[in-house]
Amino acid sequence: MRLGGSANLLEPFPEKPRGMRRRTYHRLLARAVAAQERSIGLETDNIRRLFRPVTQEQVDATIARSVTEHLEREQPDGREHRDREARG
């Protein structure tokens, strides 16, 4: 903020103010770039953690578990299923 810029990473880095030494400006620029790279790296890790690839085995296991739970809820002792077949 010493340069009068914004914290928004999408806005360009402010130009060197008149009277500021180049070395100081470049040091502040390097710190800002390093902070931006750390931020992007952390966000990338977070996205990878949230959106892990799913294998076909995981999909099959989830479907099997859902079907089993649904059937158990619908027919806890199997009576309803036999009743339907008898009416069928």
CA atoms within 13 A on the CB side of 20: 16
In tens, the pLDDT along 27-51 reads 999 998 898 899 999 999 999 888 8
Question: How many angstroms separate the CA atoms of 86 and 11, rounded?
Answer: 71
Q: Which pTM value belongs to this model?
A: 0.52
Indicate if the pLDDT at residue 78 is higher than 80.
no
Q: Is residue 88 very low, low, confident or very high in pLDDT (cuts 50, 70, 90)?
A: low
Query: What pLDDT band is residue 77 in, cutting at 50, 70 and 90?
Result: low
